Amino acid sequence: MTPPQLRDRRAKIVATVGPASHAPRMLRQLFLAGVDTFRLNFSHGSHDDHRRAFDAIRALEAELDQPIGILQDLQGPKIRIGQVPGGPRDLLAGQSLILRLGTTCAPDEIPLPHPEIFAAIRPGDTLLVDDGRIRLVVTSHEAESISTRVVAGGKLQDRKGVNLPDTVVALPALTGKDRADLEFGLSLGVDWVALSFVQRAEDLVEVKELIRGRAGLIAKIEKPSALLDLPRIVAESDAVMIARGDLGVEIPPEEVPGRQKEIIRLCRQQDRPVIVATQMLESMISTPTPTRAEASDVANAIHDGADAVMLSAETASGLFPLEAVAMMDRIIRRTEAHPFYAASMQTSAPHADTPNRAIAGAAVDLANALSVPAIVAFSSTGASGRRIASRRAARPTVLLTASPEVARRMALVWGIRPKLAAEIADHDTVPILAEEAVLALGIGHVAQSVIVVCGFPFGVPGTTNSIRVTQLGGV
C-alpha cells in the first residue's frame, strides 16, 4: 500500500464507518488503502459508537502524522407511513387508497403521521413509497385525508419511507435528534457536517449559526426542490454532496447523470468541494469485485470533476470493505491517467472573475508552463487551496497551514496534500517552509523549482496576493 503522504491521485475517497470497519485495526488498513476522510453516519449507531470511532481515527492521525478528515452525516427528517392495519398489503395499479393523518385509521386506509404533508400536498402530486417501489398520485385531499390512485403497486409494509418529488414540505432540516447529534459531533471535533433534506438555501442558515465555524457545512442534494435553488445552496454551503440515492428516487433515473455533471460544474465555478455518493460500488457489499457498470460509474464521476467519491454500506457493513477502498483507489488512478481526463478538466475550468481566482489560475498556468513538480499554497483558512483545486492543476498542491482543523478539512479537496507548518514569520521563511514540505513529501528534488502562493500581510485571511518561483535547495 502507498503511504498516504505519497499518494499521487487527485480525487479523494470518503468511506463510511460501521460494524465492518469501526475496529482501530480496520480503520488503519482502510486509511492506508486509500481513504482520505471517514464518514460517521448518524442515522445508525449510538454516540458511544461514534465516539470510539472518532478517537480511533484521531489516534491513527497522530500515529501517521497525516491529517485525516472526519465527516458527520446527520440523519435529517424521515417521512414514513405508520403501521399498516392488518399487516402487509398488496396494492394493485389503478386501485384507490386513502392516507389518513395520525397513527391510527380505518382498516382500508393507511396512517401517515405528518401534518406538514397534508398542509402542502396538492391534487396531481406524486407520493413515492418504499424507495419508489410504490407510486401514488393524489386525486383529492382534505384536512386529514389524502385520496390517491395507485400508479405502480407492490407490497406495502409498516414504516416504509415516503418521498414527495412534487411537494415542498415545511419540515425543518434539523430535527430534535439532529440537534443533539450536531452538538455531540461538534464537541468531539468533527471536520465536516452533512445536512440532509436541504430544500432551499435558507435551510443552511440556521445550521451555520449553530456550527459557528467549528466545522465545514456540506449541503446534501437529494430533493428536486434543491435543484431549483442550486446556485444559492452552493453559495451558502462549504461543500456539496450529491446524494444520488434519494435524488434518484425523486427524479427520473435518466436525469441523474446530467444533474450530477451540472452540480459538479457549478461547485467548481464557486470553489466548493463536491462529493458524489451512493451505490458507487454497491455489489461489493457482498462480492469482492464490482460490476463493470459500477467501475464506469466511479470513473465517470472522476471525469465529471468530482473532488471525492464516497463508499457507504460497502465499508460500513459490507463483507469486503478493504477490497472496496482498494478498488476505488485503482479506478481513480487509472481514470486520472487517461489522456481524456486532463482535457475534460480544462474545458470546465472556472472563470478568473476575481483577483483571488485570477491568482489561483495564474499559479496553475505557471506551474504547467514550467513543468514544476508542485504548487505550494500557504493558507490560514484553506480558501486559496480550494481556488487552486477548482482549476484541477496537473501538479499536486501542497497546502501548508498552522491550523489542524483546516488541514483536516482539506483532506476532502481535490489534489490537495495538506500539511501542518509553522506560521509564516517573514518573506525569508516562505521558501524555507515550502522546500521542507515538498522534499519531505517526496514530490520534488533539489534544483527543481516550485510555485509558491501566499498572501501579505501574513496570517490575514483573504490576502492571497503573491506568486513566486522558488528553486529547491536554493535557500
Q: How far apart are the first and last CA of the chain?
A: 34
β-pair partners for 142: 145
Which one of the listed residues 278, 335, 401, 464 is annotated catalytic?
278
**CB neighbour class for 404 (10 Å; exposed up to 12, middle 13-18, buried from 19):** middle
Task: Please say if 160 is a catalytic residue.
Answer: no
Contact (Cβ atoms closer than 8 angstroms) between residue 101 and residue 81: no
Q: Which three cell numbers stand for residue 80?
A: 414514513
Catalytic pick from 39, 160, 244, 409?
39
Between the CA atoms of 363, 366, 370 and 375, what dihedral angle is there, to the nearest 10 degrees? 0
Q: Kindly provide the b/e burial profile for residues 284-300, where b requires at least 16 CB atoms within 10 angstroms of the residue's own CB.
A: bbeeeebeeebbebbbe
Q: Is 39 a catalytic residue?
A: yes
For residue 373, give the nearest of 474, 297, 442 by alpha carbon: 442
Tell me, yes or no, if 397 is annotated catalytic.
no
Is 135 an active-site residue?
no
| Active-site residue, from 7, 10, 100, 220 | 220
Q: Which three cell numbers stand for residue 267?
A: 461547485
Q: Are 89 and 153 in contact (CB under 8 A)?
A: no
Among the listed residues 58, 80, 133, 334, the single catalytic one is 80
Tell me the C-alpha distance between 339 and 394, whole Å: 12
Active-site residue set: 39, 80, 220, 278
